[in-house]
Structure 1
Amino acid sequence: MSNKSYQSKENPLYVPIQGGDKKVMKKILSVALSTAMAFSMFAGVAFGDDNLTAQQKFDVLKEAKVVAGYPDGQAHLDKELTRAEFAKVVSTLMGLQPITGQLSFKDKGYTSSNWAVPYIEAVYSANLMEGKSTTKMIFDYNGKISVQEMATVLVRALKLEIPAEVNNNASTWAKGYVQAAINSNIISASANPTANATRSQMVDTAYAIYLAEQQPQVMSYEVSENGKVVTFKLANNEAVKVTLETALAPNTATEVKFSNGGYDYTESVTWVVTDATKVENVSASNLREVVVGFDGEVDPTTAEDESNYSIAGFTVKNADLSNDRRTVTLTVADSTNANAGLTNQKEYKLSVMNVRAGSKVISATDVKFTPVDAALPVAQSAQALGNKTIKVTFSEPVMNATVNNFKINNNNVFGATEVTGNVVILKVYNTLPNGEHTLNVTGVSDFSGLKNLSSDLKFTVVEDVTAPTVAGVEKATFEEVTLKFSEPVDKASVLASNIYWMQGSSKRVASSVEAISDDTYKFTFNSTNKLVYTTDLMVEGVRDYSGNAIAANTKVQVSPVIDQTRPEVVNATLKNNNKTITVKFSKNVGSSALTASNYVVKDADGKEVSKLKDVTRVGGDSKTVEVELYQALSQGKKYTLEIAGVADTTTLQNVMLPYSKELTIGDTTAPTVTNVSYVAANNSVVVTFSEVMATSGDGAIVLPEKYSYRNENNAWQTLPSGTTVNVSSDGKSAILVFPSDVSVSSKVKGFEVRLVKDVAGNYLENLRDTRDTIGEANAIALNAANATATNKIEVVFSQALQSGSAQISDFTVTADNEELAVNSAVVDGSKVVLTLSDNNKLDANGQYDGEQVSVAVKANASLATPAGKQIAGAANTTVQDKIAPAIKEVATTVSTSTYAFNVTFTEAIAADANNAYDFEVRVDGKTLQAGASNDYTVRVGTGINGDVATNVVVVDLADAVGTANKGKVVDVRVKPYPSFLKDTEGNLVSGNDSFYSTFIPNN
C-alpha cells in the first residue's frame, strides 16, 4: 500500500504528510518550526522593507545554491515561476536530500538527465507536492504555480495557524491558507492569489526563510543570578547562556552582545525586577513626613521598622509601607522637641539600613533631600464616630488644632481635640443629633506655619449603640496574641491588665499592649503568663468612641502556635566612634544576647581584634544591643563581625544561625574648623580644618562662596572681588588672600565657613562654623616630643605645618649634652617625624644610654605654617616614652606543683587584672581559656621562685592543665590587638602575628 494520501481536485498541490523517511521528516519539522517562528521576526522583510533589492536577494540565494539563473546568466525575476523551480526552492529550503534513481512521474522529458527530477522526487517523497494528475502520474514540471498554491504549500509545511477571519480574493479552498501567508508575510497582501507566482515573489519569500535558517533569531530571554546571567532562547530551540562582566541594572534596557554558531548577536535586555534593589528617591512635601521611594517591592517587616531609618537630629517615630510595597512614609520629629518638624528648604541626609527585598538587604547612606512645603493643609474628610466624636482627616500632618478651629452647623464647638499626624479627633461636650451636619474647618496649621483655608465638610451622625466585639485572632503564639476588633476602639480603654486567661483560679494577664491600628492590638505575655495550650482569652473594658463597652465576659478561643522562627540579625552598624556596634535582632532575644563570647570581631586576616568590653541592651525593647570594644577599629581597614549562639525569648528559645558581616571602617566623622586667624604680612585669612578637605565638587574649600566675613561696620558680606583661595600642601587649610584694598587686620572682624566637606564626603559639623572674632595667627609653638620607636621621635607643634618645610638642621636632639644624629625630618600635619641614625637608637623607655632625651628647634628654622608663619625657635623639650613594649623572650620555670612560664618584655609592664585576656596560649594547637576559673592566669613581676622583675609576666597554667600536658609544647603570643597589656607609661604592648614556643617538662 502506498504511504501517500492522494490529492483532491480542490487542492492539486498539497497532500497531508502521513509517512515517508523518518530522518527526512524530522529535518522537515525542525526546519519548519524554526522558519515558522522566524516569519514573525521578519515581518515585512519578504516585501522589500529591508535594504536589499530582489536582484541582490537572488544573488545571495544563487551563491547558496538555493536558486539558479537562466542559461544567459540572468535572473529574469519578472518571469512566472514553474513548478520545477518551486520544487527545487522548497526542497533546498526544507533541507531535503535530492533523490536520484527514482522516476515517479510519466511527464515527457521526465528522465534521470532532467535537472529538476531529484528535487521533484524529494518534495514528492516528503509529501510536500503532488502531480497535476495522480492517476496519470503527471507532475507538469514546466507548468506555472499560482500565488495561492505556493502559499498553501508553505503554510502547511510550516504548520502555520489558519485564521478565523479572512480578507482576500483567493479561491474558496485557498482563502484560509492565503490569509495565513499574508499574516505571516509569506506573500504580500497586494498580490493576486489566483495569478501565477513570479520568480521575484519566490525570491522574497525564499530569502526570508533562508536568512532565518542561517542565523536563528532570539525569541526570548531569562535573567538569573542577580542580573549576572542572561539565557537566550533561539528560534531553533537552542538556549545560549551568557555570563556578564557587570550585572544588569534592574528595569533598565541594556544591550547584551554575544556570539553563537559563528553569528554575532546584539540584543536589548531588560531585567524586570519586582524586588527592590536600591533607594530610588527621598522627598518631603511637608515637614513631618519623609517619603522613601524604592525601585521595587520591599519586605513589610523591615521596611516598617522605624529603627532602620535615621536623620541626624531627628527621631523617626513611624514607618508606613504603601500598598504596592514600594514607598515608605516616615513620620519624623525633632529629637529635642517632639512637636517640631523639619525646616523648610533645608538640606537633610537620610540613611536607610537593612531593609530587605527578597534575598537582598538594601542600605543607603546620606541620601540628600530638601523639604519643600508650599501647599496649604487641606481638610479632606469628616467622619462621625457616634454622637460626640468627629474624626477629621487632613492632607498632611498638622501641628495643632483647637476647638476654635471648628464650627458645627455654624455654631462654636465646646469640647477637646486630640491631634495625631494628619488626624484630629474632635470630642464635643454636647450630643449631636442624628442626621447630616456641616463641619467648618479653618486656620489649622501645618508644621511650616501654613494654615488651611476655610472649608465645609458634610458628615452624617448615626447613633452608635453597638458595642465593639472581637472580630478575630490575627495571630497567636505562646508569647503574643494579636486581636482585631469589629470597629475602631478608644486606645485609652485597651489595657493590658484587662486581657487575660485563666489557669485554674489564677488570672494570667498580658504584660504589655501595642496598637497596630485603630482596630487591631497586639498583647504580649511574659514568661510566667505565656499561653501554653488552647484556651479562652478574656477581654474586658474595651470601648468605642461612643462609650459602648465590649460585652462582659467576652472571650475568644486562642490556639497558640509554637514559635519556631529563629531570630535573625536585622542590622549591625558601627557608630562613628568606631568602637561601638549596634546590633538589632528580628525579635526579642534573651540573656544570651548579652554574652560577650557570642560576638567576635576579626581583621582582614581572620585574627580576633580584641576582647569585648561590654554588651548592653539599648532601646525600649529586647531586640537591640550595643557591643562595645576596648579599642576603636582603624579607619580604612576591613573587619568582620561574627555573631552566634543568641536565642530568642520564646518557649523553644530558638537559636539564631551564625551571622557574619563585613565592616569597612570609612571616614564618617564630620570635619571641624580648628582655627581661623589672619596673617597681616600677606593679607590673608587662614582657615584650618581637622581633616583633609575636598578641593573639588559642591563642598570644595576652594569655592569663595563658602566663606563670608564680618566687616568693620559689623555687617556680614561675601568675600571681596579679587580674593584668591589656595590650599595648604596637607589639604587641611584654606588660605584666602584678600585684595590689598581690604586689610584683614582692620576690616575682617569675624568669619564664617559654610557647607564644606572632607575628602570622604562628610560635611562640616553643624554645616557651618561662625567666629565672631578672629585675631592674628599665633607663632608656632612646640607642644610635645614623643618617642614612638627606638629610632623615631615625633615633634608636635601647635599648628599645621607646610609640607616640606622641615629640615634636619632645624632640630637639635640631645641626651646628657651629647647630640644625637638625625637622618631625616618629615612634616606630617602638625608633626615632624625625626628619624635617628642607627648608632643613636633609643631604648624601649625612650632614653639613650639611660639618659633622658630632649629636642629643641633652632632659631631661624625653616618651619612654617601654610600661610607662611614661621617658628621663632623652641627650647629643649623632654622626649616622652610612647614606644610600645614587645615580647623579648619566653622561658619555662617549674616548681613541685606549679606549671608556669615567664614572658619577658622589653620594658616594665603595669599590673592589670585583665592582662590574661591579651595573651593567646595553646597546647598542641588547642587554645586555652584565660581567667581564674579557667586554664591559666597571669601576674606581673614575681616569678615562682620569688625573683622580682617588672618586665616579666608570669603565665600560670592550672594544675590540671599542666599535669595533663607534661612534655608537650606550649605556644604563646600577645594577641594582634591587645586591650590591657601596657607599660608603666600607659603604652599598649605591640601585638604579635607569630607565637613563641616553650614546653612543659615531664618532671
Structure 2
Amino acid sequence: MRNTSETIKENSHVMNAQGGEKKVMKKILSVALSTAMAFSMFASVAFGDTATTPQQQFDALKAKGIFNGYPDGTAGLNKEMTRAEFAKVITKLLGLKEITGVYSYTDKNYNAKNWAAPFIEAVTAAGIMEGKNTEKKIFDFNGKVTIEEMATILTRALDLEVPTETNNTASAWAKGYVQAAINAGLVDSSLNFQSNASRELLVGAAYAVDQEQSLKVASYDVTEAGKVVTFKMSDGESVKVTLDKALEANKETEVKFTYKDKEFTEKVTYVTTVAQAVSSVSATNLKEITVKFDGTVDPATAESTNNYVVSGITFKSATLSDDKTTVTLLVDANSSALTNQRATSLQINNVKNADGTKTFTQKVEFTPLDVAVPEVKEVKALGTKAFKVVFSEPVQQSTVNATSFRVDNNVIAASVKYVYPNTAIVTTDLTAGEHTLRVSDVKDFSGLTIVPVESKFTATEDTAAPQVVSVKSNDLKEVTVEFDETVKSVASAYANVSGNSAQSIEINDNKVTLKFNNPLNYTENTIHLASVSDYSNNSASVDAKVTPTLDTVRPTVVSTDFYVENGNYYAKFQFSKSLKLESATDASNYVLKNSEGKVPSIAGIDGDGHPVVKPVYTDNNKTVVVNLGSSLSSDATYTLTVSGVVDNAYVGNVLLPYTATLNANTAQNGKVSRVWADVSSAKPNYIFVQFNKTLATTGEGNALEAAKYIVKDNAGRSFQIAKENNDINLISTNTVRIAVTGTIPAGFDWTGKVEVTASYIKDSEGKYFNNGSFTVGDALSGSTIGVTGDVYATSRKEIKIKFDAALSNVNLSDFSVSGVASQPTSYTLADNNKTLLLKFADNAIPVNVAGVTVSTVSTYTQDAYGNKIKAIDTPIPVKDGVAPTFVSGQFTKVGNDYTATITLSEEVVGSTKVNPSFITDLFTLNIGSDEVDIKTVTINGTNKIVVTATASAAQADNGNAIVSLKFNGSTNSSAKAVTDKNDNALGTITFAAQNSTITAPVAP
C-alpha cells in the first residue's frame, strides 16, 4: 500500500512510506556512530532534544543491563574499553543471541568460566568481530579497542562499501575500513586511528543506538473514514499517514511509514460502528424485507421508502432498528406479496451511513423463504374493554375475526379491528386480573396457519388518556404523531388554524398519521388533535409541535431497459422516487436523438425528438415506459434524454438530465437477417445464414448444430442441410457457413425459391431467436446488397447512401452521380459499415439537389463474404439533407430604428407549428452589453431574413458600441422553427458591426 506521511510536529526526516525492506541495524549503527562523535575525537554531531550527559546515558544503559560499571560503582568513562567489553555491549545492544558451549578461540582461560565467551561467540557468528590473530585463533579479549578497530567493526556492521583507494593514516589492514567510515562521514580523517577508544565514546554510541531501538509507535488514531492514520510515537511526536486507499473497516491491515530514517510496519484496524457495506437482504415472510448493514446508517435516508425498489412492489414503510443497523421494509397492504422461494432483486438507492462518508446504491439479490408458521408475539390488555394481539409476522386480514380468539377457553362476543400488517385489536369486556388467550386459524401470506397456543395476559383498569410521545413530519403535508398507548379514535385534527383541517386521519396502533391538502409552515407548526380516545374510552384533546423536514433529494434513474414488443421499441426507466404523474407522462421531457446528435426523421418521434405516444408511468415500481415507435434503424445507436421530471415532494425536486444510450440491435428480437448461397453447380456448395445478433456457440442454443438448419423447395421437399456439426463454421460473430452435405430428396428444385429455416438458436445473451424462416431469392444465385431508404446530400460535398448489409470493400468508381460539378473523390463508412458517405470537392453538389441522382456503372463493391452490391439501373434521386447556412449579414439604421438583413445559402420558411413569438425569441440583438427588444422578424420564403428593433437614444448614439445579432441554432435544431423547404433546420448565426459604421439603407 503506497501512502504519504508527515509529522504533526516539525521533523525533517519523515519520508514517503514506500520501497523495499531495509536493514534496520545499518541505520541504528549509523546513528549510533554519528551521535558518539559528539563525545570525542569523531566528527561533531549534536544529539538534539534528547541529549544528556555521558553519566546520565551510562546510568540509563546500566539500568537495561547493557553496561555494568565497576565494583566501586563508577562508570569508568575515562578508561579504555576492552575487546570483551565491546563484544558484550554490541551483543546486548543489537539483541544478538548469546552462544554457549562453543569456544572458537584458543586464548588462555577462554572457556566456560570466561564471562565474555557467550558475547564473543555472538559477535563472531554475526561477522561483526573477529580474532586479533586469525591464524592462531586468538581473540585477545583483554586487549584494548583502537579507533581503527571500532571503525572496522562499524563498517562491517553497516555493510559499507570498502573503497580500493584510501587516504588515511590507519594501519594497512584497516585502511579500507577506515576510509569507508571517513567517506560515510563517520570518522574524521585527522584522527590517530591507532589510539585506543575510551569507554565514554562507547557509552555515547551505545546510548544513541538504544534510543533508536526504543523508538516505537505508542498509539494510533484512524480518521477520515479510514483514509488517514495518525501514529503517536514514543518520543512524543506524531506522524500523519495519508493512504492511497482507505482502510477496510474492522479489518487488521499493515501500514508502512518512515520516521527519523527508520521504517515502521504497524498493524492497524479501522474500528468503526458506522456501516461500510450491506451485510444481507432477506425475507422470512412475504410482506417484509430485512436489510442488514454492517454498522449504523443515517435514519433520514434509511427510513425513506423512495430509496428501495423491488419491481412490482410498493413499500408502506421503512423502519430502522433501535441500533440503527437494520431496516425492515413493509410491503404496502394493497401491493402484491413477495413470491416464496423465487429470486428477487432489491435496488437500494442513496442510503447514507451514519457519518455520511458512504452512500449505498446497489442491487442485491435475495430469495424470500417463508417456512415458519405465524405465532403470537404479544398479548396486551388495553384496559378492561379490549386487548391487542401482535403476531410474529404479517397475517391475512380475512383470517383475523372474532372466531379466531378464545378468552379463558370461552367463545367471546367481540369486534375485531385488523391493523396491517400483524396486529388485531379485539374489543370485548374483560375482568381485572389474569386471562388466557387461545388463537387459531390465522394465516400468513404464504398460507401457513398458526398453531393454537395459549398465552397469558393481565387486564387492569386504565383511567389515563393517551399522551403524545413524539411528532414527525413527512415533507409539508404529512405528520405522524406517536402516543404512549394504542389509539382508538381521533375526532378531528388541524394544523395551526382550524381552516387547515387534516383531510385524512390514519390510526395504526399508537401512531396517528395526518395528511393535509394545504402545506404546513416551513417553521414550527402546532398540530391540534381533538378527542384522542383509547380503548378504555379515556379521551383528551392534545397539541403537538412540529417543524417539517423538507425532502430535498432529487430523483435519479436507477435502471434502464430497452426492448422490442409487438414491433415497437420501448425504453423503460426506473426511478429512485415516486414522480408527479403529469411530469412523468409529459412527452416533452423525453428527447430521442441519433448518433450524430440530431433528431431522427422517423415515425413515432416528432420533429423535436419527443415520442408521439404519451409515456406510461407506474407508481408502485416507479417506472416510466416510453414508446419510440417501430421505425428505429435496427443497427443504429440512439440516445434518449430524460429531463424535467419532478418527484412528489411538496417542493418538487427535479431530475438532473439523464441520457441513456440505446442500441437498437440489442433491443431487437433475434431473427435471421440474410441468407445467401454460392452456386458452383446444380446445387450450392455452401449456404450462409446471417443473424441480427451475436450467436451462442455452446449449450442448448448452440448455433453450430447441424440439426437446426433445414432447407425446403417450392414443392415442400425438405432436408437437413448439413449431416454433421463439423459441416458448420462460424465465419463471424453472427454468421454461419453451412456445407450442403445432407441427403437431397429426389427432384429437389434449386431453380425456384428456396426457404431456409434456422430453429432453436440462442444469442450470446441466452435468448432464443424467433424460430421463423427466411426465403432465399430465385435459384440461390447469391445474395446481392441493396440500397435501403432514401439517399441524402448531407452537405454540398457529401452524399449518404445506406445499404442493407455491412460493406468491407468499396470501389469508388462503381458510383456515378449526375447533376454535380465533379464525381466523388473519396468515401467513408459509418453505422457499422452499412452507410456509405461519398465525398466531393467543396460545393460540388448544388444547393438545389432536385436534379441530382445516383447510379452504378459497375458492382465491385462487396461485403466481407464476397457478396456484391446490386446494380442501380434506375438512378436514385438524391434528397436534400443540407441545412441552410449563413452567407452574410448587414445592419442599417434610421434614427433609433435598426434593421438586420441576413442572407442565407437557400430559401427558408418559418414553421406554422410554433408561435411567431417563439421564432422572435430565437434572435438576440445587443448594442454593447445592452439587449434590445426585437420588434419584428420577417421570413418570406426567400433566402433572406429581416429583423427590426428600436433602441434607446443613448444606445443609438453610442458610436463605439458593438451591435451584434445572434440566432439560437441549437434550440432551432430541436424545434425546426426556421428551415429550408425540405425541413432542414437553420443553424447558429452570429454577426456584428461597430455602431458608428451603421448607416441608413441606400435607396434602390
Task: Specify if TM > 0.5.
Answer: yes
Shift of 1:676: 0.8
Deviation digits for residues 704-755 of structure 1 (CA, Å, limit 9, x no counterpart) = 4566899799xxxxx9966978585xx7x46596996699x9895644647x
Q: Please say if 1:987 is aligned against 2:987.
A: no
Question: Hey, what's the Cα distance between the residues in 2 that align with 1:244 and 1:852?
Answer: 70
Contact 1:975 1:991 in 2 (8 A): yes
Cα 1:980/1:685, change in 2 over 3 Å = same
Contact 1:277 1:295 in 2 (8 A): yes
User: Over the residues paired in the alignment, what is the CA RMSD in angstroms?
Assistant: 6.4
1:783 to 782, 788, 804: 788
Deviation digits for residues 397-427 of structure 1 (CA, Å, limit 9, x no counterpart) = 7697466995758999999988777526486
Deviation digits for residues 565-621 of structure 1 (CA, Å, limit 9, x no counterpart) = 7763344449859999999999x99x9999xxxxxxxxxxxxxxx99999x999999
Aligned to 1:303: 302
Aligned to 1:796: 802
2:831 to 795, 807, 828: 828
Cα 1:746/1:385, change in 2 over 3 Å = farther
Question: Hey, what's the Cα distance between the residues in 2 that align with 1:208 and 1:418?
Answer: 84
Aligned to 2:438: 438
Aligned to 1:45: none
Contact 1:251 1:273 in 2 (8 A): yes
Cα 1:215/1:463, change in 2 over 3 Å = closer
Cα 1:958/1:822, change in 2 over 3 Å = same
Give the secondary structure class of the aligned counterpart of 1:243. Answer: strand
Shift of 1:519: 1.4
Question: Hey, what's the Cα distance between the residues in 2 that align with 1:963 and 1:304?
Answer: 59
Q: Please say if 1:556 is aligned against 2:561.
A: no
Question: Hey, what's the Cα distance between the residues in 2 that align with 1:771 and 1:418?
Answer: 54
Give the secondary structure class of the aligned counterpart of 1:783. Answer: coil
Contact 2:556 2:655 in 1 (8 A): no
Shift of 1:436: 0.8
Deviation digits for residues 232-273 of structure 1 (CA, Å, limit 9, x no counterpart) = 222212222233333444444443333232222333343344
Give the secondary structure class of the aligned counterpart of 1:671. Answer: helix
Question: Hey, what's the Cα distance between the residues in 1 that align with 2:317 and 2:516?
Answer: 24
Aligned to 2:451: 455
Aligned to 2:530: 539
Contact 2:310 2:346 in 1 (8 A): yes
Aligned to 1:499: 493
Point out where structure 2 has 5 or more consecutive residues left out of the alignment: 1-8, 10-22, 38-52, 82-201, 563-570, 586-606, 678-685, 711-722, 745-753, 778-782, 1000-1004
Question: Hey, what's the Cα distance between the residues in 2 that align with 1:510 and 1:338?
Answer: 25
**AA partner of residue 471 (structure 1):** Q
**AA partner of residue 499 (structure 1):** A
Taking the TM superposition and a 5 Å limit, the aligned residue runs for 1:590-601 are none
Aligned to 2:483: 485
**AA partner of residue 458 (structure 1):** E
Deviation digits for residues 515-574 of structure 1 (CA, Å, limit 9, x no counterpart) = 6x531224355559879999782413x555x5x5552xx32244566x6x7763344449
Contact 1:576 1:668 in 2 (8 A): no
Q: Please say if 1:369 is aligned against 2:365.
A: yes
Question: Hey, what's the Cα distance between the residues in 2 that align with 1:432 and 1:707?
Answer: 76
Question: Hey, what's the Cα distance between the residues in 2 that align with 1:669 and 1:357?
Answer: 43
Deviation digits for residues 876-927 of structure 1 (CA, Å, limit 9, x no counterpart) = 333333334443333223345533423444342534432345456555346x
Aligned to 2:133: none
Aligned to 1:604: none
Shift of 1:284: 4.7
Contact 1:592 1:647 in 2 (8 A): no
Contact 1:673 1:769 in 2 (8 A): no
Question: Hey, what's the Cα distance between the residues in 1 that align with 2:250 and 2:743?
Answer: 57
Aligned to 1:837: 840
Shift of 1:329: 3.4
Question: Hey, what's the Cα distance between the residues in 2 that align with 1:230 and 1:811?
Answer: 71
Taking the TM superposition and a 5 Å limit, the aligned residue runs for 1:830-869 are 831-838=834-841, 841-843=844-846, 847=849, 851-856=850-855, 860-864=859-863
Aligned to 1:970: 963
Give the secondary structure class of the aligned counterpart of 1:470. Answer: coil
Give the secondary structure class of the aligned counterpart of 2:301. Answer: helix
Aligned to 1:339: 336
State the number of aligned residues.
Answer: 745
Report percent identity of matched pairs: 20
Aligned to 2:714: none
Contact 2:797 2:842 in 1 (8 A): no
Contact 1:253 1:270 in 2 (8 A): yes
Contact 2:527 2:546 in 1 (8 A): no
Q: Please say if 1:510 is aligned against 2:494.
A: no
Taking the TM superposition and a 5 Å limit, the aligned residue runs for 1:57-96 are 89-90=58-59
**AA partner of residue 324 (structure 1):** D
**AA partner of residue 485 (structure 1):** F
Question: Hey, what's the Cα distance between the residues in 1 that align with 2:380 and 2:919?
Answer: 70
Point out where structure 1 has 5 or more consecutive residues left out of the alignment: 1-29, 31-50, 68-83, 99-104, 117-202, 595-609, 694-699, 714-718, 758-766, 929-933, 942-947
Aligned to 1:229: 228
1:568 to 543, 547, 552: 552
Cα 1:647/1:64, change in 2 over 3 Å = same
Contact 2:642 2:658 in 1 (8 A): yes
Q: TM-score, normalised by structure 2?
A: 0.58
Q: TM-score, normalised by structure 1?
A: 0.58
Aligned to 1:906: 905
Task: State which drifts further: 233-242 or 745-754.
Answer: 745-754
Taking the TM superposition and a 5 Å limit, the aligned residue runs for 1:922-1001 are 922-925=926-929, 928=931, 935-936=933-934, 939-941=937-939, 948=940, 950-957=942-949, 959-960=951-952, 963=955, 966-967=958-959, 968-975=961-968, 977-978=970-971, 979-981=974-976, 982-983=978-979, 984-991=981-988, 995-1000=990-995
**AA partner of residue 797 (structure 2):** N
**AA partner of residue 783 (structure 1):** T
Shift of 1:643: 13
Taking the TM superposition and a 5 Å limit, the aligned residue runs for 1:604-1003 are 671-677=666-672, 679=675, 681=677, 682=686, 686-689=690-693, 703-705=698-700, 726=730, 728=732, 733=734, 750-751=759-760, 753=762, 768=767, 771-776=770-775, 780-784=785-789, 785-798=791-804, 801-802=805-806, 804-815=808-819, 820-829=823-832, 831-838=834-841, 841-843=844-846, 847=849, 851-856=850-855, 860-864=859-863, 871-874=869-872, 875-907=874-906, 908-911=908-911, 912-913=914-915, 914-919=918-923, 922-925=926-929, 928=931, 935-936=933-934, 939-941=937-939, 948=940, 950-957=942-949, 959-960=951-952, 963=955, 966-967=958-959, 968-975=961-968, 977-978=970-971, 979-981=974-976, 982-983=978-979, 984-991=981-988, 995-1000=990-995
Contact 1:804 1:826 in 2 (8 A): no
Aligned to 1:177: none
Question: Hey, what's the Cα distance between the residues in 2 that align with 1:856 and 1:468?
Answer: 96
Question: Hey, what's the Cα distance between the residues in 2 that align with 1:752 and 1:431?
Answer: 71
Task: State which drifts further: 410-419 or 679-688.
Answer: 410-419
Question: Hey, what's the Cα distance between the residues in 2 that align with 1:720 and 1:379?
Answer: 63
Q: Please say if 1:326 is aligned against 2:312.
A: no
Give the secondary structure class of the aligned counterpart of 2:212. Answer: helix
Contact 1:918 1:980 in 2 (8 A): no
Deviation digits for residues 114-172 of structure 1 (CA, Å, limit 9, x no counterpart) = 459xxxxxxxxxxxxxxxxxxxxxxxxxxxxxxxxxxxxxxxxxxxxxxxxxxxxxxxx
Taking the TM superposition and a 5 Å limit, the aligned residue runs for 1:54-453 are 89-90=58-59, 114=79, 210-211=209-210, 213-214=212-213, 216-277=215-276, 279=278, 281-284=280-283, 287-332=286-331, 338-342=335-339, 344-346=341-343, 348=345, 350-353=347-350, 355=352, 357-360=354-357, 362-365=359-362, 367-373=363-369, 375-381=371-377, 383=379, 391=389, 393-395=391-393, 401=399, 408=406, 423=422, 425=424, 435-441=435-441, 444=443, 446-447=445-446, 451-452=447-448
Cα 1:280/1:481, change in 2 over 3 Å = closer
Cα 1:246/1:839, change in 2 over 3 Å = same
Give the secondary structure class of the aligned counterpart of 1:939. Answer: strand
Cα 1:384/1:270, change in 2 over 3 Å = closer
